[in-house]
Amino acid sequence: MEIQGFAIDVINELVRIEQNLRFINDDVKGVANLKSRSDSLRAIFESRGYEIPELLGKEYIQTANMEVSFERDENLPKGANIIRRVIRPEISLNGEMIQAAMVVVAFNE
């Protein structure tokens, strides 16, 4: 199981890198290459049975499979619940969840 623990650590870092890359202008030298490499890493894990759903920027739907912190954002439309940050991604291996997600959800009442 040590390999699985290593894979989880690498996937956690991959998602942090992907999250940070979303905030860097595409015109910055080297960003396109970094995005391509992160896409390749994601594809490698997925080809080996790992599932890593894209959560960042998605509408939050209440689920028991996530640890959630909420932060108010008056700039969002009323009633919106958007995943603002992914602290820890959800990871499944061959259809079985091996790590629950931990996210920060921005909301406006």
Both tokens of residue 24?
A: 């860097």
Rounded-to-integer distance, Cα 21 and Cα 42, Å = 14
pLDDT tens profile 61-108:
887 689 999 999 999 999 999 999 999 999 999 999 999 999 999 999
Three-state SS for 68? Answer: strand
Delimit the domains of the chain by residue range. 2-107
Segment (H or E) for 45: helix 31-47
Rounded-to-integer distance, Cα 23 and Cα 16, Å = 12
pLDDT tens profile 28-54:
999 999 999 999 999 999 999 999 999
Residue 1 predicted with pLDDT over 70: no
**pLDDT for residue 4:** 85
Which CATH fold topology does 2-107 show?
Nucleotide Exchange Factor Grpe; Chain A, domain 2 (2.30.22)
Both tokens of residue 36?
A: 């391509």
**pLDDT for residue 91:** 97
- Which pTM was predicted? 0.86
